Each structure stands twice: as structure tokens, then as C-alpha cells.
Amino acid sequence: MASLFALPGAANATVTIGSNLGRTANATTGGCAGGVCTFALAGLDPSRQAAGGIASPVNGTISTWRVEAGISTGPAAFRVVKPLGGGLYSSGDASVGVTPAVNSVNAYPAQIPIRRGDLLGLDCCGAGGATFFTASAAPTARLDFEPGPLAGGGAGTPAAGSDTFETLVNADIEPTSAFTVTKARVKKGGAIAVAVNLPNPGTLTAGDPRDAALAATSAGKRPHLVKPDTVEAGPGSVTVVVAITKAAKATLAARGRLKVPVKLVFTPTGGSASTQIVKAKLKR
């Protein structure tokens, strides 16, 4: 038997994806007749990419998005674009509309969910056009979605394949560290196996809550009851197994029963940790 409860984790670090915004914004769309178009960044030379690439490598939340504007501007919004396969794309959530300042990189706070593989898009340009782009060459790929359906929150295919204008947009992502404990069981000999579902790649450590290496929240000189173990895994299901200590075995032999807490600490790559504690009941 096991009971579970969560402890708060620290604020996450960030992963930046999209363009590294190292070029001058010097190209417009020439306007987007009939409404607002969506322009997605689907390919880019590595020398032009942000540190995290152009597609999200993690599940998380966009905390900041940026767009570089040149000599002209206009209403714009950030949009997550989701590849569905077969040349089809759907819309994720979008930011509120803004009008970026000319000749500058503009940064905006956000709370927009994003998943692994999602791309960055920009809704913009109306009939007047705006300088949010720069000329490039392959492998740069800008997917152009004519007015609706993406700007309306739907799904569709690029209007004319892709071109090679770099969309000067990027975003900071806070990788989620929230994980789910799916099963905890006591194995023969008293080892405790805990199965969890991880949202991102990272490091999972299990051990005694009093272990200083696990940033213990409670003080005390009582002996540790389990030996720590660490695995590199994720995303998806993983099982971590901790053995009980000699002190735990001695207490179990004397009492016949023993409740053993196991602290789980998951730190996603590029992010900060979250924790949960499992309490397992051992019987002699």
C-alpha cells in the first residue's frame, strides 16, 4: 500500500526556440489581403536558430515571446502551430494582439501552453504588410497560411507550400516538471518500486526525505530508511527502485511493520525540480 502527496518545486528555467534574432528585419509580406495570415517558422539554418532549435523540445509553457520589427509595423499576435502530419497543421493557443515598435526587438510576457514538436507562428500583416521578416535561403522554410483557418483557431495546409523568408520570432519555454506517480509497490526483500510518468526528459531521483542530497524539508538525525537511486529518463513511463537500509530492516524485524517514505525529485532538462513523496507500508 502507498499514499501520495506533492511538495512544491522551484520556478523553472527556460528553453529558447525560434530565430536567434541576429538579422535585420528587412522584408514584408506585401500585405495579406482578406484578413490576418499566419506565418510559421518551419526550417532555419542552425547558425540562425535559438539555442533550443525551432521546434519545441519539451512540454511546457511559453513565458515570453519576441518579434523583431524593421521600418514598418502593424497589429500582430503570437500563435503556436501544431504539425499534424501529411502537410496539415492546426492552431494552438495565441497571445493577445500587439503592435511592435519599429526597428527593435519587442518582448511580451505570456502564459501559452506548448508541446514537443510544436512550431512558432505569427499572425499579422493585414492589407498593409509589416517588416517582421528577413530574406534567407534554404533550409529556411516559412509556412504561409492565408486568412483563416489558423488565425481563426482551426487547421489547414500552407497556402503555397513554403518560402525562404525568416520569420523573426522566438519564445522562452518553461519546461513542465509536474509528473504523475502511477504505481508504488513493495518487492521481495523490502525494495520499493515506484512507477511514474514523466512529462519531459530529465533526471529522476528517489531516496529518503531526510537525505540532504534531495533538498530535505525536514530536519532530524534519525537514520535513513532507503538508499537513493537516480535514473535519466523520459518522457513517458519509468520505474525507479530503492532498497531499504539496514536500519529499516532492523526496525521492521523488531516491529513487524514499518511505514517508509520515499521522496521523488524530478528535474527536467533545462528546467527546475518538482517533488512528490510516496509512503510505502512494509510488513515482516
Question: Tell me, what CATH number does 58's domain have?
Answer: 2.60.120
- Based on the domain organization, do 170 and 218 belong to the same domain? no
Residue 275 and residue 264 in contact, taking contact as beta carbons nearer than 8 Å = yes
Residue 69 and residue 132 in contact, taking contact as beta carbons nearer than 8 Å = yes
Q: Which domain holds residue 46?
A: 15-175
Q: Give the cell for residue 13.
A: 528555467
pLDDT in tens, 214-267: 765 555 567 899 999 999 998 999 999 999 999 999 999 999 999 999 999 999
- Based on the domain organization, do 99 and 213 belong to the same domain? no
Q: What are the two backbone dihedrals, phi and then psi, of residue 248, each rounded to the nearest 5 degrees?
A: -65, -40
Answer yes or no: is pLDDT of 169 > 60: yes
How long, in residues, is the chain?
284
When the pLDDT of each residue in the chain is averaged and rounded to a whole number, the result is 89
- Based on the domain organization, do 83 and 52 belong to the same domain? yes
pLDDT score, position 159: 78
Question: What's the domain count of the chain?
Answer: 2
- Based on the domain organization, do 152 and 253 belong to the same domain? no
- Based on the domain organization, do 20 and 136 belong to the same domain? yes
Q: Which of 129, 145, 175 is the last residue of a domain?
A: 175
Answer yes or no: is pLDDT of 9 > 50: no
8 found inside a domain: no
Residue 63 and residue 111 in contact, taking contact as beta carbons nearer than 8 Å = yes
Q: Which of 143, 175, 207 is the last residue of a domain?
A: 175
- Based on the domain organization, do 43 and 112 belong to the same domain? yes
